[in-house]
A and B are shown apart, each in its own frame.
Chain A
């Protein structure tokens, strides 16, 4: 029989309510239901999470690492976007 791997799923776990789901690794599983089951067994054996997302790895669109300069460098010289850019008189207090 032709050998075929189970598809790859990326796993995101919310460690507790109030926090974002965070990527923690990947698993192989034939479908979404089993992907959740496997992710639970592999990534939450010690109460690491209260909610799991699994996303087929094929469905994730990532930015090109070679495009890092044009994507992210333009923000480098826009320091006026940060509050610390503005020097205010001390009497104003915390703002």
Chain B
């Protein structure tokens, strides 16, 4: 599961308000509930901006899960053993499941699944830019589990306590399953590191390519972040930079155990801060990929659209069958 704090204002997020009136009494009740660390539920009154922010964030999160199936799915037919193939299948299936939990959570806010799909397919909605990088060798599957899912877990654990009940509950479910993703990745890499020099090189190569994109997953620096409302509303409880630091601190030791080098010459322990310092992030690359110019943006979306369109006849046929069955049952009942 993957999220990225994108902080991109949505161009067109006009969800239909259920109770459009911005009522001062409702607002006060809402604020008090959120300030006290309470939960907002689907049918409760909420400010329109809160609803829109949630739809944007939850749907981007769901899209990331679904698109995230592609880079790894690429390796299912080429997994080196039946065991690894079964594990990878289960993992990719989980990503699909995570997407579905999250779409369901977004739908509680009054937006339809089709609208969400349309937004993804027409590029109105974003997904995590990490999936616009290619998976070039088998070690990439391991590194995605270790670093990409690892970064996602850091991002997601605070969301289990976010103020919107359906999102928080979906995230609890997701986080429970996510640990398997990270561990299977690390286990895969450990196995390769015990192998031939060529296999070890493959792991190092994959780490070199995925390290920076992984730490970009936490989104822009706090000073450049535009969505301060999310913090006030209890949607985002820990800042991008704090989460990124936590991730770097946790990962250094894991890299040592694995026997790989993280590709950052400036990475070193800072006694005074009690944290690892790390080099400057190439934000130009980040925005470039977010804005559609990564290596795989076009392919990923094309694959998504193709899967959706080629599945249309199945969705239509299943519905037609269900309607026919229901009509037959009704006719039978009427005749009896």
Contact residues in B for A25 (Cβ distance below 8 Å): 101, 104-105, 169-170, 173
Q: Are B113 and A5 in contact (CB under 8 A)?
A: yes
CB 8 Å contact bits of A29-48 with B (1 = contact, 0 = none): 01100100000011001100
Q: Do the beta carbons of B321 and A27 come within 8 Å of each other? A: no
With contacts A1-B316, A5-B113, A30-B319 taken as known, whether A45 is within 8 angstroms of B97 at the C-beta atoms is: yes
Q: How many A-B residue pairs have CB under 8 A?
A: 53
Can you list, as one digit per residue, whether each of B39-60 has a CB less than 8 Å from chain A (1) or not (0)? Answer: 0010111000000000000000
- Would you call B177 an interface residue if the criterion is a C-beta within 8 Å of the partner chain's C-beta atoms? yes
- The minimal Cβ–Cβ distance linking B32 to chain A, given in whole angstroms, is 14
Interface residues on A, range: 20 to 34
User: Are B104 and A6 in contact (CB-based, < 8 A)?
Assistant: no
Given A26-B107, A28-B113, answer yes or no on A45-B322 (Cβ-Cβ < 8 Å): no
Known contacts A42-B100, A42-B101, A65-B44; A8 and B318 CB within 8 A of each other = no
Identify the closest chain A residue to B101 (Cβ): A25
Whether the Cβ atoms of B41 and A27 lie closer than 8 Å is: no
Alpha-carbon distance between A33 and B170 when the two chains are bound, in angstroms: 24
B288 within 8 A of A: no
1/0 per position for B324-335, CB-CB distance to A under 8 A? 011000000000
CA separation between A65 and B322, bound complex, in Å? 33
> B97–A42 contact, CB under 8 A?
yes
Q: Looking at B93, B114, B169, B322, which has the most chain A CB atoms within 10 Å of its CB?
A: B322
State whether the Cβ of A82 lies closer than 8 Å to any Cβ in chain B: no
Q: Which residues of A contact B (CB under 8 A)?
A: 1, 3-6, 8, 24-28, 30-31, 34, 41-42, 45-46, 62, 64-66
User: A5-B112, A25-B170 provided; 4 other pairs, C-beta below 8 A?
Assistant: A31-B321, A42-B100, A45-B177, A65-B45
B interface list, Cβ under 8 A from A:
41, 43-45, 90, 93-94, 97, 100-101, 104-105, 107, 112-114, 169-170, 173, 177, 315-316, 318-319, 321-322, 325-326
